[in-house]
Structure 1
């Protein structure tokens, strides 16, 4: 099997693509892959690190307001389609898969016009512009949340889940807490705001740092690299509590998730796929700065079923955060209820589902 994958801009589009490639390789070790992205996007770093063949096109996203830049984007789109057709004809794929982000627009559109099997994968409960546009041309639309199916042609939608869930479910369990100087036998809450961190979450936690230091459970606190130095300075001022480990960033997050009892996080699609795959209770603080407020809608898909506690950023304070953590970690019945509810929302077989959908089309 020869597969072209395209998706970029954020880890939420890239990590599911990489997880799918790993899933295909398990069944078809001789499968060949080409990843098409942009040179400046995050995919350039992440895909190259996995040693997957990588080619680029030049494309930018649309501005949501009227702008002359959108004219340039249209020109780049058609240039990207031409470049994509060239790459497709050279590679001769059996199927082309887009996982979102504007880079996959020209790639998947070009493949559809060349009559090659195509799938787009939507991670969020509210789809982005690119996937909504591509849904008119592709053979199938794979979704991760049932809430997103109404945005796409009904006959094309297949509920597969997010392939990142499979990766989280099967990752080997390692004692990452001891590696980081924490006690593996203590209950642990992971606080993380995404790869770049989230200042409101950081500020809320720092405001109750002294009280948090009195808890019997422990904290693994991931600040985001841009906030790390500032956070560490404030932590040092307050005595550097012994029940905390503070990191700027963590690679291979699925390994860490299997070592903790609770996560406080944004509500990105990849995070939710990972935590539901292993039944990890969560306190979700959606980013209000994303397109169509999709993170809040992602979070409600869990909180409405008792799998998560949802707190809007405007409602959040350090006292509220610590109270919610206590209510879950210090109440075994609450934890078990959320754990079971999260598992029910999980799709650990998502990678297999995507692979089977691909096989149907090739």
Structure 2
């Protein structure tokens, strides 16, 4: 079995693709993969560090601006060039199927495959689909969605199925003891993770600094703050100044590559509301405080977050209302209330779909058999 994967821009688009590859290798150990991404996105680094036998090739592509501009004309030209380059790579690799997991990079790749009459699958992580996947739904052989009810968002698709997010399967199998060992934590200490997504978020990093004086209110809890590579140095310096260098229970890191294992050890997590991330926390049943990004298309992160909030699995704080005091009050109430924390955990796990990767790969195999 030969499979082309494409998706990028953020880890939320890359990790589901890798989860699909992991599941394929479990079922077909001789499967071969080609990943088509960009040189500038996170996908190149994440794929290289995954340890999976995946060859990586790149195309040059950018996303569309939301208003009319000459840059959009350049984007159209890059798209056409990306289609030509993708066709070359696909013809050389000769895949059985091409899979796109979101982000503008998968646009020319899946489109090229469709024009070459190669079976294609697109995975949509969000409740509200993105521009690229809406465009591809007219050409793809099959669309797989993460949220029940999202099927109706693709009225022009040939086939739409619910599978859940494949990333959930990877995370559900993670070893919490390895996550604690990575951070040097005691077995039973409450662990609160604060993270602003794979690239970090300035507003959340600012709160990481501002809550330092409040930490004595939870003396037994450990905090892991993940800033993103670009903002790490500046955020760490501010935190060190605020804490006078006393950071025994406050771990500040730019990125964590074994995130599933660290997540498995978490008692509570504070984060944006990207769909792949929600698949991870529901697979593990982690209570969460979600701060949806206000800078995404169609405000889809708030739509994602409200999905968990309605089921009492998460608390939602809008960025415009975010302060250190309000956030720490919520953290404190959840960490110190085992009944509330346990209920949130059960509700979160009830919404998870740890077999999502198996369902996606099964759909892929059914598709190939029919064709």
Mark the runs of 5 or more structure 2 residues left unpaired by the alignment.
Answer: none
| Residues 4 and 34 in structure 1, CA contact (< 8 A), matched pair in contact too | yes
Q: CA RMSD in A?
A: 1.8
Instruction: Quote the Cα distance in structure 2 between the aligned partners of 1:295 and 1:234.
Output: 28
| Residues 34 and 53 in structure 1, CA contact (< 8 A), matched pair in contact too | yes
1:63 aligns with 2:65: yes
Q: What SS does structure 1 have at the residue aligned with 2:54?
A: coil
Inter-CA distance 235–44: structure 2 relative to 1 (3 Å threshold): closer
Deviations 1:53-102 (A, max 9, x none): 12222222222211122222222222222222222222221111111111
Q: What SS does structure 2 have at the residue aligned with 1:274?
A: helix
Instruction: Note the C-alpha offset of 1:343.
Output: 0.7
Instruction: Note the C-alpha offset of 1:179.
Output: 4.1
Q: Which residue of 1 aligns with 2:47?
A: 47
Q: What SS does structure 2 have at the residue aligned with 1:346?
A: coil
Q: Which residue of 1 aligns with 2:190?
A: 187
1:208 aligns with 2:214: no
Instruction: Note the C-alpha offset of 1:245.
Output: 2.1
Inter-CA distance 45–246: structure 2 relative to 1 (3 Å threshold): closer
Instruction: Quote the Cα distance in structure 2 between the aligned partners of 1:309 and 1:279.
Output: 14
Q: How does 1:56-95 map to 2 (within 5 A)?
A: 56-95=58-97
Inter-CA distance 178–67: structure 2 relative to 1 (3 Å threshold): same
Instruction: Quote the Cα distance in structure 2 between the aligned partners of 1:39 and 1:210.
Output: 41
Deviations 1:196-254 (A, max 9, x none): 32222232243232221231322222233333333333333333243322222211100
Q: Which residue of 2 aligns with 1:159?
A: 162
1:222 aligns with 2:226: yes
Q: Which residue of 2 aligns with 1:249?
A: 255
Q: Which residue of 2 aligns with 1:150?
A: 152
Instruction: Note the C-alpha offset of 1:290.
Output: 1.5
1:196 aligns with 2:202: no
Instruction: Quote the Cα distance in structure 2 between the aligned partners of 1:179 and 1:61.
Output: 36
Mark the runs of 5 or more structure 1 residues left unpaired by the alignment.
Answer: none
| Residues 2 and 32 in structure 1, CA contact (< 8 A), matched pair in contact too | yes
Instruction: Note the C-alpha offset of 1:300.
Output: 0.9
Deviations 1:162-199 (A, max 9, x none): 11100000123334334424333211211111233222
Q: What SS does structure 2 have at the residue aligned with 1:354?
A: helix
Structure 2 counterpart of 1:340, from 337, 340, 346: 346
Instruction: Quote the Cα distance in structure 2 between the aligned partners of 1:47 and 1:260.
Output: 25
Inter-CA distance 64–2: structure 2 relative to 1 (3 Å threshold): same
1:267 aligns with 2:269: no
Q: How does 1:79-118 map to 2 (within 5 A)?
A: 79-118=81-120
Q: Which 4+ stretches in 1 moved above 4 angstroms?
A: none
Instruction: Quote the Cα distance in structure 1 between the aligned partners of 2:36 and 2:125.
Output: 19
Structure 1 counterpart of 2:135, from 101, 120, 133: 133
| Residues 279 and 342 in structure 1, CA contact (< 8 A), matched pair in contact too | yes
Instruction: Quote the Cα distance in structure 2 between the aligned partners of 1:197 and 1:78.
Output: 31
1:31 aligns with 2:34: no
Instruction: Quote the Cα distance in structure 2 between the aligned partners of 1:148 and 1:10.
Output: 21
TM-score by length of 2: 0.92
Instruction: Quote the Cα distance in structure 1 between the aligned partners of 2:69 and 2:300.
Output: 24
Inter-CA distance 333–121: structure 2 relative to 1 (3 Å threshold): same
Instruction: Note the C-alpha offset of 1:16.
Output: 0.8
Instruction: Note the C-alpha offset of 1:103.
Output: 1.4
Inter-CA distance 323–33: structure 2 relative to 1 (3 Å threshold): same
Q: What SS does structure 1 have at the residue aligned with 2:110?
A: helix
| Residues 182 and 245 in structure 1, CA contact (< 8 A), matched pair in contact too | no
Aligned length: 362
Instruction: Quote the Cα distance in structure 1 between the aligned partners of 2:232 and 2:60.
Output: 33
Instruction: Quote the Cα distance in structure 2 between the aligned partners of 1:232 and 1:113.
Output: 49
Deviations 1:275-297 (A, max 9, x none): 10010000001111112211111
Instruction: Quote the Cα distance in structure 2 between the aligned partners of 1:86 and 1:148.
Output: 33
